Amino acid sequence: MDEKLTLFGGVKFLRKYFNKHKRNFILFYIGWFVDNALTVIAPIIFSIMIDQIVYYNNLNVFLRVSLVFALMSLFSCINYFLIYTFHHYLMSMYIFDIRMDLFNKIQTMNAVSMSRAKTGDLISTLLYDTEECMHFIIRNIFHSFNALLKGAFYITYIFIISIIAGFTVVLFLPLVVYITYRFGKRIRSFSDNQREIYGGYASWLFEILRGLTDIRLLSAEKNVRRKFIGFQRKLFQVDIKTKLANLTSNQIIEGVSLLLQLAVFGICAYLAFLGEITIGNVIVLMTFTFALKDQCIAYIVRNIMEAQTRLTRIARIKRFMSMEDESSWKGKNELTVSRGDIQFQQVHFAYDPRKPVLKGLNLSIPGGRHVAIAGKSGCGKTTIASLLIGLYERHAGSITIDGQDIASCNLKSIRQNVGVVQQDILIFDATIRENLLIGNPKASEEEMWDACRKAGILTFIEELPDQLDTWIGNRGIGLSGGQKQRIAIARIYLKNPSVIVFDEATSALDRETEERIHDAWRELLRGRTAIVIAHRLSSVMLCDHCVLIEDGVVKEEGHPEQLLETSEPFKKLFAVNEVATGNVH
Amino acid sequence: MNLYQKNALGRKYIRLVTGSPFIYLSFLACMLALFLFLTISTKVDLIKTYQAKLVNVNETPVLAVDSTDFPVGKAFLYTNKNKNVYPVHIQKAEPYQDGTLLHLDGNQGEDILQSVDSQNLYLDVPQGEATLLYFILVKGGKGGG
């Protein structure tokens, strides 16, 4: 559940973004203040004009006051245009700043936070919740404050014109405040609930849309549909409750305001009948009472209700912003790799403290050696790679590359020196060139072609009409699993790290494609240290050393061919794996 | 960071308005100065309302008010302000018992006094002037004439 944020908490959180555009926010506020002042003054000027012409036939003063009125209207129009220039500018910049911060946060989130965050939540927060921050500042703070000021002006002028009307207005106000407070609390709780359900629903939907094929293959459409209906039902119920509470409070306040209006209209009629007020005064009183009801009371009430919803959204942004990120990584030194010796010494690690994954792992990989890491699922193979590139921090022990503890090195230098090729290759909706340059934006044209040649994708690219400028991804041409692997290998060539980790990179490819990819690997691995996290024997056999992990420690190690002859667990593991993946010869 | 790079005109306009407070503040200052000038230079009569009675003196209808200090000149006579308001000119004011007798100008005054159908009359009398700004800000539009 999100942290409950108060109005002041929301303002405090958003203040740093406000401060960045303080000058324009102040100008924007001054503009609104002037606009509101003109709104208050206009009926008074109008009443003077009427009294002058109706009672005293004073055309001279009437025309002069009319000139002031016309000028004020023109002034108001230009002012309004300028205010909205500020509004749109601030809206764009303010949202941009928050989105940028949030995006940076998402990008630097540590692996633990990343695994906890729901994708749907992140998307809806980044796209929709950020907009609400600006609405909160402008509508809930600026406009509400202005509406309060305007209300105070209206009441003062109503008192000036008629004390009885003033007292009538003041008597109704506590009632409105009480109703607003009562319903505001209820709406906030419904709104929190709604956001919580919606967040879960969006994440679930995101996963479902990604796995549509799997759902069909598992014939799970019925279950998914049932869950979809369940979510819709929950959302519908909470939506009805929120809207009902909103509607009820609005209608009650509308009723109270109507009573207030009727009372003031009655007083106006009575005073006009007695001759104590003029037609102009009646117009001002009626206009002010109507404006007080519409522009102040109803407006503030609506804003308070909306503020409750917005605060929930701001609390979500705040929660994301406070998630742990990689800035907690203490290492500052630059990692420089020459030979590529890797040492794991007494490394302990657990995702869940009750279930340790690595229990004092010792592993020594001399520079230039290609080591396969094998073991059953969940034995900690991928964890070893994750610790090596600093996705997680080990709980005890040390991991060194060329004698430098990676905990003392900065993440950027670690990731520059350790390249990773995974099974799922990230291909952007962009050109091949852009997809290649992501590893090294400074790579030259020549280096790119060379990397493509070494990765074995040169012929494919050369045959494309736009070659490196061909659009790939969802909106471009589709790539096969093997081609994606080759793109990933080309990226590694451009990045040129001393250490490479292959994390089950070819486990989804067919045997023929895998063999061709392995040829590209052999070329890539020359002169580099490599860790191959392998599910297939063929990947293990590429290496000159193999480590069998079991229960968080190294169970056996040696040359793959030697292990294949002597190690029962090794033979058993690959017999099982090869059967499972259909790769038995 | 400039998010308006695509539209050159829009970029210039945004930069002009948001880049420096000078333009907007100048606009506000000019408009405020103009508003103050116009509202200060426009004078509106300050009106004081007197209750008056219709009395006959030497078979001539005249007005009697309780006040002893009554200025002669322009006034507005009515029984109900929202029905008819007669502009009149008070030619002479003379002490009468505890108040003042008001003689209206020529036949016009007599005609009006004969046509009013009530003994209880009101007289709105301009007594000095005030600026329009004063009427707006201090009096909320009330009491002008």
Q: What is the ipTM of this complex?
A: 0.84
Residue among B3, B44, B140 whose CB faces A96 most closely: B3
Is residue A91 within a helix (H) or strand (E), and if so which, with residue range?
helix A59-108
Beta strands in chain B (DSSP E): 43-57, 60-65, 73-78, 86-96, 99-104, 120-131
Q: Average pLDDT in the A53-75 region?
A: 88
Distance from CA of B136 to the nearest CA of A (A): 6
Alpha-carbon distance of A285 to A270, in angstroms, equals 13
User: How much is the pLDDT for B37?
Assistant: 93
Q: Tell me which chain A residues have a C-beta less than 8 angstroms from the C-beta of B135.
A: 44, 48
CB contact under 8 A, A275 and B132: no
Residue of B nearest to A100 (CA): B1
Identity of residue B6: K
User: How much is the pLDDT for A584?
Assistant: 41
Does B89 score more than 50 pLDDT?
yes
- Residue B33 banded pLDDT, cuts 50, 70, 90: very high
**B62, β-bridge pairs:** B55
Q: Which of A320, A322, A378 is nearest to A350 (CA)?
A: A378
Residues of B with CB under 8 A from a CB of A: 1, 3-4, 13-14, 17-18, 21, 24-25, 27-28, 31, 34-35, 38-39, 42-45, 76, 80-82, 85, 87, 122, 124, 132, 135-136, 139-142, 144-145
Residue of A nearest to B15 (CA): A89
Q: Is A126 helix (H, G, I), strand (E, B) or coil?
A: helix
Burial of B69 (0-12, 13-18, 19+ CB in 10 A): exposed
**B87, β-bridge pairs:** B76
Q: Which of A32, A266, A24, A275 is nearest to A169 (CA)?
A: A266
Q: Is B127 helix (H, G, I), strand (E, B) or coil?
A: strand
Distance from CA of B23 to the nearest CA of A (A): 10
**Dihedral over alpha carbons A503, A509, A511, A512 (to 10 degrees):** -120
Q: Which of A70, A90, A126, A116 is nearest to A17 (CA)?
A: A90
Judge whether B64 and B53 are in contact, CB under 8 Å. Answer: yes
Per mean pLDDT, which range of A321-325, B41-45, B122-126 is the poorest?
A: A321-325
Distance from CA of B13 to the nearest CA of A (A): 9
Per mean pLDDT, which range of A158-167, A467-476, B62-71 is the poorest?
A: A467-476
Residue among A71, A79, A281 whose CB faces B142 most closely: A281
A497 vs A513 pLDDT, higher one: A497
What average pLDDT does the structure give for chain A?
Answer: 79
CATH class of this structure's domain A342-581? alpha beta
The CA-atom distances, in angstroms, between A141 and each of A22, A25, A304 are: 14, 12, 10
Does B10 score more than 50 pLDDT?
yes
A424 vs A9 pLDDT, higher one: A9
Q: Tell me which chain A residues have a C-beta less than 8 angstroms from the C-beta of B144.
A: 48, 51-52
Mutation site, B136, B137, B138, B139, interface A, largest A CB count within 10 A: B136
Q: Tell me which chain A residues have a C-beta less than 8 angstroms from the C-beta of B145.
A: 51-52, 55-56, 58
Pairing of strands B43-57, B60-65: antiparallel
Q: Tell me which chain B residues have a C-beta less than 8 angstroms from the C-beta of A89.
A: 14, 17-18
Q: Is the model's pTM score more than 0.80?
A: no
Mutation site, B4, B18, B30, interface A, largest A CB count within 10 A: B18
User: How much is the pLDDT for A508?
Assistant: 56
- Residue A380 banded pLDDT, cuts 50, 70, 90: confident
Which residues have a Cβ under 8 Å from the Cβ of A498 and sit 6 or more positions away?
A337, A338, A340, A417, A418, A528, A529
Distance from CA of A260 to the nearest CA of B (A): 21
Q: Is the dihedral of CA A445, A446, A448, A452 positive or negative?
A: positive
Distance from CA of B140 to the nearest CA of A (A): 6
Judge whether A577 and A536 are in contact, CB under 8 Å. Answer: yes
A317 vs A567 pLDDT, higher one: A317
Counting residues of chain A whose pLDDT is more than 90, the rounded percentage is: 2
Alpha-carbon distance of B84 to A401, in angstroms, equals 102
User: How much is the pLDDT for A514?
Assistant: 67
Mutation site, B1, B12, B24, interface A, largest A CB count within 10 A: B24
Residue of B nearest to A69 (CA): B35
User: How much is the pLDDT for B29?
Assistant: 93
- Report residue A394: phi and psi, to 5°: -65, 150
Mutation site, A34, A55, A57, A270, interface B, largest B CB count within 10 A: A55
Does A378 score more than 80 pLDDT?
no
Tell me how many residue pairs between chain A and chain B have CB atoms under 8 A apart.
113
CB contact under 8 A, A85 and B13: yes
CB contact under 8 A, B35 and A68: yes
Residue among B28, B34, B145 whose CB faces A30 most closely: B28
Q: Average pLDDT in the A68-91 region?
A: 89
Q: Tell me which chain A residues have a C-beta less than 8 angstroms from the C-beta of B28.
A: 30-31, 34, 79
CB contact under 8 A, B132 and A272: no
Q: Which of B11, B142, B72 is nearest to A284 (CA)?
A: B142
User: How much is the pLDDT for A352?
Assistant: 78
Q: Is the dihedral of CA A421, A424, A425, A426 positive or negative?
A: negative
User: How much is the pLDDT for A211?
Assistant: 77
Does A516 score more than 70 pLDDT?
no
Q: Average pLDDT in the B83-104 region?
A: 83
Distance from CA of B1 to the nearest CA of A (A): 8
Q: Tell me which chain B residues have a C-beta less than 8 angstroms from the C-beta of A55.
A: 76, 81, 85, 124, 145
Q: Average pLDDT in the A429-456 region?
A: 76
- Eight-state DSSP code of residue A4: P
Residue of B nearest to A277 (CA): B142
CB contact under 8 A, B145 and A58: yes
Among the residues of A322-365, which ranges form H helices?
none
Q: Tell me which chain B residues have a C-beta less than 8 angstroms from the C-beta of A61.
A: 42-45
User: How much is the pLDDT for B5?
Assistant: 56
Residue among A71, A82, A277 whose CB faces B38 most closely: A71
Q: Is A341 helix (H, G, I), strand (E, B) or coil?
A: coil
Residue of A nearest to B1 (CA): A93
Question: What distance lies between CA A270 and its chain's CA centroid?
Answer: 59
- Residue A79 banded pLDDT, cuts 50, 70, 90: very high
CB contact under 8 A, A68 and B42: yes
Alpha-carbon distance of A75 to B27, in angstroms, equals 9
User: How much is the pLDDT for A293?
Assistant: 78
Helix axes A163-210, A279-291, angle to 10 degrees: 30
Q: Which CATH superfamily is domain A7-326 in?
A: ABC transporter type 1, transmembrane domain (1.20.1560.10)
Q: Could you give the residue range(s) of every CATH 1.20.1560.10 domain in chain A?
A: 7-326
Q: Average pLDDT in the A418-427 region?
A: 74
- Residue B144 banded pLDDT, cuts 50, 70, 90: low
Neighbours of B106 (CB within 10 A): 10
Burial of A134 (0-12, 13-18, 19+ CB in 10 A): buried
Mutation site, B16, B80, B89, B142, interface A, largest A CB count within 10 A: B142
Half-sphere exposure of A431 (CA within 13 A, CB side): 12
CB contact under 8 A, B135 and A52: no
Is residue A260 within a helix (H) or strand (E), and if so which, with residue range?
helix A221-274
User: How much is the pLDDT for A585?
Assistant: 40
Q: Using one digit for the tens of pLDDT, what is the confidence trace for A546-561?
A: 888 888 787 778 887 7
Judge whether A324 and A105 are in contact, CB under 8 Å. Answer: no
Burial of A474 (0-12, 13-18, 19+ CB in 10 A): exposed
Does A500 score more than 90 pLDDT?
no
Distance from CA of B93 to the nearest CA of A (A): 22
CB contact under 8 A, B141 and A44: yes
Q: Using one digit for the tens of pLDDT, what is the confidence trace for A312-331?
A: 888 888 888 887 777 777 77
B119 vs A314 pLDDT, higher one: A314
